[in-house]
A and B are shown apart, each in its own frame.
Chain A
Amino acid sequence: MNWGIILPLIVFLILMFASGFMANKYVSNSKSFVKEYFLGSRDLSGFILAMTMMATYGSASSFIGGPGVAYSQGLGWVLLSMAQLPAGYFVLLILGKKFAIVARKYDSITLIDFLKSRYKSNWVGILSAISIVIFLFSSMAAQWVGGAVLIESITGISYVTSLVIFAISVLIYVIVGGYRAVAFADTFLGIVMFLGTLILFAATIIAGGGVENIMTTLAQDNPKLLTPFGADGSLTPLYVTSFWILVGVGVVGLPQITVRAMSYKDSKSMHQALIIGTVFVGIIMLGMHLIGVFAKAILPGIEVGNEVMPEVTQHVLPDFLAGIVLAAPFAAIMSTVNSLLILVSSTIVKDLYLSFIKPEANEGQIKTVSFTMTAIIGIVVFFMSLSPPDFLIWLNLFAFGGLEAAFIWPVVLGLYWKKGNKYGAIFSTLTGVISYIYIDTYYPSLFGMHSVVLPVIISLIAYIIVSQVTSKIQQLN
């Protein structure tokens, strides 16, 4: 039990609870409970918007997985990670002000609200809701497992206890404060992620004796580490480029990101978030993955990728700073988890329960259902994370790519192409998801690219053709 490291983590948890209770004031005073609890009453300002977007996006892979791979592959993987830079500006620009305006005109609280209003179709709503719940449930569980494993490896506390700590930390402030609590927490978490990156970056360079020295050491081990092609030459331009779709541009299809594009206050906030978001995403991605590369020169013998970040942190920093820095991956996981939790909750409560089962529920009943549902989801995820069934892990693999292929065209083309209709949207979603699962399972590196590329193309074609054909048919009638 290393108190030097645990103490900052405890302070960290307390601050997160605080954000929940601060947000609860807004919840109690809100004019519309649903709008406040699931969307923060469209009130997010620039810095908070940038932070919640970046923090929701950046998760365990940015802080632990990514640096772990960079450790083995070298600068080529850092190059790949920079494909994430557009995540800081592209979503806000492509959805942009029209999305914010239309969402207000439609009075959409969730992405599904928006899709239902745009396509005037309940089937679109149901299909989307099912996709979100299935994929994101498993994503959430995967992150919870990651979070508990992290606590366990840092503090030595047993996995189950770590999971309990993790679960309680997240559940309390999300249940109590809703979307705004998530946004506040993300702001704090984003700052932690940023500072953690900077501190560790500086410390690692110092420990390695300067960048030049590190590069020389790496070149002595394997010069390919300094090339764009990876330690074994496997990072081809085509393969790395295909990641621009998965993590750069395609993120516009992720519901947890899209919902943020309709939750901000005004144009000024959007503009501020563009700058802040891009800078923060860039620095964190570049910094963390470089740390992974540098680590190899300092601690050459690490076998397991996921151990690189915790090991190097504890090696190059004094305990107290190490505790703060180790809060960063924890922050990344938390911030992703809290967004997923409120998103799944909003889907079940607003898009399934309120839309179809009991639309006439009064505000008191909605409150009870919302709080209870969020709690229930959390508890179910907790039990699934205790001993994650294989299918959960299997589902999580498809979550990112699957959701992107499912939603990207119904959202983007729905916004800009008048002819896009519900049939196009439904077919696009179905072909996207099915082709992605199929290709990723049987032909994972088809044509040397990441498996998300083809499904995105297929779902685009489906959207366009089906919309055109069905509108022609409707015209003829």
Chain B
Amino acid sequence: MDGFTIFVRFVKIIFVFRQAPVRGRVMKKENKQIEDPMFVKDPRYKISKKEALIGIILVIINFAWWFGFAYGFGSREYTEYQYILGFPDWFFYSCIGGLIVMSTLIYILVKFVFVEVPFEDEE
């Protein structure tokens, strides 16, 4: 491939690049006020936002539990540790307990709180 062909290809890429339309089914070109489907009032979005907040709360709970038992409990002298199923107590509550608590919380949320919404649009 000689230099000129490379140059032409390069120019073509830049030219096409600047013209390439952004795709999306909902973009109507004749409408100046293009409504972004992301920010229309869709009741499903409200649910989604609520669940996102729940996600954040879950992480906070997860972290607090993990941290509290690990560094709160675990900061004693190691000679003071009690042992549960063979594991040091801080570890048992923080890691094993944490896993059980979070799994249970998520199960409960799925069973009783999270809502099923249809993904397809009724068009």
Contact = CB atoms under 8 A, between A and B. Distances in A.
Interface string A241-261: 100100011000000000000
Nearest to A241: B67
Nearest to A358: B16
Nearest to A273: B110
Contacts of A101: 42, 44-45, 48, 117, 119
A228 B90 contact: yes
Given A82-B99, A89-B58, A211 B87 contact: yes
A122 interface: yes
A118 B116 CA distance: 25
Contacts, number: 180
Contact of A89 (B18, B55, B67, B85): B55
A251 to B, nearest CB: 12
B40 to A, nearest CB: 9
B4 interface: no
A107 B25 contact: yes
A183 B1 CA distance: 40
B90 to A, nearest CB: 6
Interface residues of A, number: 68
Interface in B6-36: 12-13, 16-18, 20, 22-26, 36
A438 interface: no
Interface in B73-116: 74-75, 78, 81, 83, 85-88, 90-91, 94-96, 98-99, 102-103, 106-107, 109-110, 114-116
Interface in A63-107: 75, 78-79, 82-83, 85-86, 89-90, 92-102, 104-107
Given A78-B95, A211-B85, A357-B13, A228 B70 contact: yes
Given A122-B22, A241-B67, A416 B103 contact: no
A215 B87 contact: yes
Contacts of B109: 274
B112 to A, nearest CB: 11
Contacts of A279: 103
A104 B120 contact: yes
B79 to A, nearest CB: 8
A241 B91 CA distance: 16
- B: contact size bracket: 35 or more
A267 B117 CA distance: 6
A448 B22 CA distance: 43
Contacts of A248: 59
Query: Which applies to chain A's interface (DSSP): helix, strand, loop or mixed?
Result: helix
A451 B67 CA distance: 20
Nearest to B66: A82
Nearest to B21: A359
B106 to A, nearest CB: 5
Contact of B98 (A82, A93, A272): A82
Interface string A265-297: 011100110110011001100100000000000
B117 A97 contact: yes
B119 A93 contact: no
Contacts of A356: 13, 16-17, 20
Interface string B44-80: 1101110110111011001100110011001100100
A275 B107 contact: yes
Contact of A117 (B23, B85, B91): B23
A105 B26 contact: yes
Contacts of B115: 267
A418 interface: yes
Nearest to A412: B52
Given A82-B98, A93-B51, A226 B81 contact: yes
A396 B55 CA distance: 30
A118 B38 CA distance: 8
Given A86-B59, A90-B59, A106 B39 contact: no
B8 to A, nearest CB: 13
Contact of B45 (A78, A89, A98, A283): A98
Contacts of A213: 86
B121 interface: yes
A94 B67 contact: no
Contacts of B75: 228
A89 B30 CA distance: 41
A267 B96 contact: no
The 4 tightest CB contacts between A and B, nearest first, are A211-B86, A93-B55, A98-B48, A267-B116
Interface of A: 75, 78-79, 82-83, 85-86, 89-90, 92-102, 104-107, 113, 116-118, 120-122, 126, 210-215, 219, 223-224, 226-228, 237, 241, 244, 248-249, 266-268, 271-272, 274-275, 278-279, 282-283, 286, 355-357, 359, 415-416, 418
Given A95-B52, A226-B88, A355-B20, 14 more contacts: A89-B58, A90-B59, A93-B52, A94-B55, A96-B52, A99-B48, A106-B25, A212-B83, A215-B86, A226-B81, A267-B117, A278-B102, A282-B99, A357-B16
20 contacts: A79-B91, A82-B95, A85-B98, A90-B59, A102-B37, A104-B120, A105-B121, A116-B22, A122-B20, A214-B86, A215-B86, A228-B91, A237-B71, A266-B119, A271-B110, A274-B109, A278-B102, A279-B103, A286-B99, A359-B16
